[in-house]
Amino acid sequence: MTDDGGRKPVRYAGAAGVRRNLPFILAGGLLLLAMELWSGGSGVVSAAGILGLLILSALQPTRSGGANAKALSETPEGGRISAAELAAAINDPIYFLDEEGTVLYSNGAARDAFGPLAEGSAIQLKFRSPEMQVFLRDALKSKQTETSVDYVERIPMERVYRVSARAIGEGGRRFVLHFRDQSEARRIDRMRADFIANASHELRTPLASISGFIETLRGPARDDPKAQEQFLQIMHGQTRRMARLIDDLLTLSRIEAKPVGKPTEPVDLRPLVAGVCDTLRQVADEAGVNIEIEFPDGPFEVAGFRDELVQVFENLVSNACKYGRDGKRVVVQAKVEAGGEKSVTVTDFGPGIAEEHLPRLTERFYRADSGTGPSQQGTGLGLAIVKHILNRHGARLIIRSRPGEGSSFTVHFPAPEF
């Protein structure tokens, strides 16, 4: 990957451009002034307009090599900026291409977003979707106008970009490809749709059951206090479940709507996990489970978002308490693995999980149990939330279980880079 923008960096006209375009700037300025007078404005608009024109003409790429390049070097401020320098300072992915689509330069944002491309390889290799192929073919041929297209990447996380291509430099034989991230808007739309679909679907079952009991209470069970008490108990359970479901759905949606971006802040897991276990003390006591925490000496730091990591361990430890209550103990163990990776394992000694369920536990609403016993309380979203948060952290969740011996959930964090 060359960093000097290929062989010839694109130059901007700078002061020379301003001089060259002086007549246009004056004319434009006059026009703005005229509009200003006509509309009776304050003068700010026209001043801004003239400034804009000046900047535009200064940024206009030089068309005829020699003379302007000379003029450039004359600028008193030494205002020579290579295109690569400019692109490196921009947070959107940018590629410079030749007319074949060979990548001459890519900025840091491009490498972060789309991974590395071999030096001198064709951009078409990386952006393979049929629309992008057509777009690139047409854009590299047209040379004149700016064109744009939407580019969607679904894997590993959905990202949506507005891509525009434009010829730059002399002769229109080089191109700049600019990606503008629009994932946020799309994610929020998606979140809304998903939330409504999931919520209505998942809330229907408990609602139906509650309305059934109400009917019974008003009809056959009208004069049966014993049955009434029992039904009210069940209805109470159902409403609590619905409340939890809404909480979980909201959490999941909120995490999904957050912008992509890996955490850089160091978080010490030692006090974090201890805090989580303290808040879960009551749950553990009710289940008759003893939580043991084993951390190596000193701080145990990973790059993370504190609140989200709290949620991860809350889910894992409370699951272990609920499902592993027969084992009487839950162990949370932190380790530094070979290669600097850090891992935290939550182990229970309960009945374990049958093998066929393991690959699917993190799917939404997937439940390995029969809907009886303690797990009846679950929403089927806990591990989906955990997995989603860990994806954001570049971390992995590994689940091991042996029926009859218990289960362990291990979170692997990549080696921190701070």
Binding site for another protein (CB under 8 A): 100-101, 115-118, 121-122, 124-130, 132-133, 154-156, 205, 354, 356-360, 363-371, 380
Closest approach of another protein to the CB of residue 357, in Å: 7
Those residues with Cβ within 8 angstroms of residue 175's Cβ, 6 or more apart along the chain or in another chain: 96, 97, 98, 99, 139, 140, 165, 166, 167, 168
Work out the burial of residue 88: count CB atoms within 10 Å of its CB; fewer than 13 is exposed, 13-18 middle, 19 or more buried.
Answer: middle
Phi and psi torsions of 346, nearest 5°? -110, 115
Question: Which residue, 15 or 368, has its beta carbon nearer to another protein?
Answer: 368
CB of 137: closest distance to another protein in angstroms?
A: 9
Residue 149 CB neighbours (<10 A)? 18
Closest distance to another protein from the beta carbon of 323 (Å): 14
| Closest by CA position to 352, among listed 408, 403, 399 | 403
Cα separation, 30 vs 50, in Å, equals 9
State phi, psi for 239 to the nearest 5 degrees. -65, -35
Q: How far is the CB of 28 from another protein (least distance, A)?
A: 43
Burial of 140 by CB count in 10 Å (0-12 exposed, 13-18 middle, 19+ buried)?
A: buried
Residue 67, Ramachandran bin (φ over 0: left; ψ between -120 and 50: alpha; else beta): alpha
> Based on CB atoms, which residue is closest to another protein, 115 or 219?
115
Nearer to another protein, 11 or 241 (CB): 241
Q: Closest CB to another protein among 325 and 387?
A: 387
Q: Which is nearer to another protein, 195 or 305 (CB)?
A: 195
Q: How far is the CB of 292 from another protein (least distance, A)?
A: 30
Nearer to another protein, 142 or 391 (CB): 391
Residue with token string 């020699």: 66
**What's the full length of the chain, in residues?**
418
